[in-house]
Amino acid sequence: MADDPFTLFDRWFAEARDSEPNDPNAMALATADAHGRPSVRMVLLKGHGPDGFVFYTNRGSRKAGDLAANAQAALLFHWKSLRRQIRIEGVVNHATDEESDAYFATRGRDSQLGAWASEQSRPLDDRATFEARFEEVKARFDGQDVPRPPNWGGYRVTPDHFEFWHDRAHRLHERRIFTPDGRGGWREGLLFP
């Protein structure tokens, strides 16, 4: 039993990478706009540690607009093969440009080009328009490295609440809650159904 939520997360995440057939780093990201209207979508975890949990997106997207208006978010990891889930809540800030540049450089070339072609969350008249944009960007960067678009980057959720949920027989589930103890550590509590 880990006393630190980051250590417990690392353990569960390692087990998920070994058992989940697809995208063990998939997480639901819940945001709310300036009026409190919630929205949730799946994103991919691309980095984590004691400073938080990082994902990347177009900063013109709806999620980015929500986070600009209300810099609080909730994450949910659900690993059906393990019958476990982790809920994380916290404050959201931009990842540094250096972090965003470093991650962008690891993406496949077509994914890099797609980031330039996409105006995420903006309607298009048809798919052909998007595909034409992709071809234009492909020609523009032909024979050269693709730089990170200025409107694309990372976000870091810095946790102030963790809940580790483990399915148990007869719906007698187990939940371990971690909250800041006010001294730089974490206070743990156990909850049952």
Dump the DSSP string for 133-175. Answer: HHHHHHHHTTTS--PPPTTEEEEEEEEEEEEEEE--GGG--EE
Contacts of residue 104, Cβ cutoff 8 Å, sequence gap at least 6: 56, 112, 115, 147, 148, 152
Residue (of 163, 169, 20) closest to 90 by Cα position:
163
Catalytic residue from among 83, 133, 168, 171: 171
Q: How far apart are CA 88 and CA 17, in angstroms?
A: 19
* Amino acid identity at 104: F
Rg (CA), the chain: 19
Query: In b/e form, how buried is each residue of 94-125, taking b as 16+ CB within 10 angstroms?
Result: bbeeebbeebbeebeeeebbbbbbbeeeeeee
Q: Which residue has the tokens 């992709």?
A: 134
Q: Is 168 a catalytic residue?
A: no
Q: Is 158 exposed, middle or buried (0-12, 13-18, 19+ CB in 10 A)?
A: middle
Catalytic residue numbers, as ranges: 171
